[in-house]
Amino acid sequence: MKSLDDLLAEGVAGRRVLLRADLNVPLDGQKITDDGRIRAVLPTITALRDAGARVIVFSHLGRPKGAPDPKYSLEPVAQRLDELLGAPVAFATDTVGPQAQEAVAGVGDGGVVLLENLRFNAGETSKDDAARKAFAQELSNFAGQDGAYVDDAFGAVHRKHASVYDLAQLRPAYAGYLVARELDVLRQLTGEPERPYVVVLGGSKVSDKLGVIDALLPKVDTLLIGGGMCFTFLAAQGHGVGDSLLEQEMIDTCKRLLSEGGDKIVLPTDVVLADDFSADANTKVVPADALEDGWKGLDIGPESVRLFSDKLAGAKTVFWNGPMGVFELAPFAEGTRGVAEAVASVDGLTIVGGGDSAAAVRQLGIEESRFGHISTGGGASLEFLEGKELPGVAALEGA
């Protein structure tokens, strides 16, 4: 796989470089609520600008249906990118149409242009190879005769999309700094991680994490399970879970995992219950085997936080993916906060597996530098750890 440094060594001054970034940030109206993914790609953009490249950035945002939708516009991202770079960022209001063509034609050495949301064009995500390749060719045309392609969108490398998979086969292709760092860190987990190796999994559904549990269970020393998914495991142990989230069809699977994992799998010992899914609900803490009908578990309890923290204390390698509760609501944030603090205190390699976990770190005000690495791609990280081929990575390796 060729790297950004390889491209820079070739020389990029005056050349157009197509940069696939992952700028899929959360928005509240037009306000960006977490700019972590924008910040993550800055080192690659800055290196290209400093070397005199003409940088054409494109990304997706949300899930529009293959047509323009104002609520998914990347315009707020262009404004924030402008602020963070301290340099003008031209914004094209279409993907490959006249506005994009004009913006690309006007970018000078060291300049940056951001194209509108790629998913406004149905070709980006099409299951039809010909339609996808046609859109990739239109993007490729922006590079001119001597342009190159850089993929720094780790959060999208598990998608067989035009800008991730097909475009990498049309131009000289290179891995950006972020993609290279993500792969380097995750390969440490799939190789021979320093032990004890502890994995913390949360989030709502066992079904979303089944593949990674099956892949990691033979490799880890301890697997801590919190979040909504823990209630299906508790049900598999024969406990009632009240009105908590439950995947009935996954109970037998959880029984299998508990049998295979034995003492490796650690579940919460107490739970924060609420009578409503709201910040002003009535709450109480009960043992994990004493959940009541009419109440739902929305966080792990303080005893569970201490238990999980003890299991993490001596770890040398930690991978954490998924919050311990509904951290967005203050009464149910302490489980995630406590576990995050415990992970941050580990004397070893600590990896936060993107998605809601990364959002929680920032929302709860925990210093990001305390972690070894915060991934930008939750789904991509999990699929890599499952051993699946990631189309974007395969395309770069074949370039």
Binding annotation for ATP:
209, 297, 328, 354-357
Look up tokens 């960022």; give the residue.
Answer: 89
Instruction: Detail the residues annotated as belonging to a binding site.
Output: 22-24, 37, 60-63, 119, 159, 209, 297, 328, 354-357
| Nearest Cα residue to 207 out of 163, 270, 258, 251 | 251
| 15 is known as an active-site residue | no
| Nearest Cα residue to 386 out of 341, 330, 321, 340 | 321
| 379 is known as an active-site residue | yes
The answer to whether the Cα torsion of 104, 106, 109, 112 is positive or negative is negative
Among 355, 377, 378, 392, the active-site one is: 355
Among 36, 211, 372, 379, the active-site one is: 379
**With contact defined as beta carbons under 8 Å apart, do 183 and 40 qualify?**
no
| Nearest Cα residue to 197 out of 309, 320, 311, 317 | 317
Task: Label the pairing between strands 265-266 and 270-274.
Answer: unpaired
Among 2, 36, 110, 205, the active-site one is: 205
* Cα distance between residue 256 and residue 254, in whole Å: 5
Q: Where are the beta strands (DSSP E) in 21-119?
A: 27-28, 31-32, 54-58, 89-91, 112-114
Among 37, 160, 181, 264, the active-site one is: 37
| 37 is known as an active-site residue | yes
| CB-based contacts of 364, cutoff 8 Å, min separation 6 | 327, 333, 336, 337, 340
* Cα distance between residue 378 and residue 194, in whole Å: 22
Amino acid (1-letter code) at residue 192:
E
| 205 is known as an active-site residue | yes
Map residue 231 onto helix, strand or coil. Answer: helix
Q: 152 phi and psi, to 5 degrees?
A: -125, 25
* Cα distance between residue 372 and residue 195, in whole Å: 16
Which of the residues are catalytic?
Answer: 37, 205, 355, 379
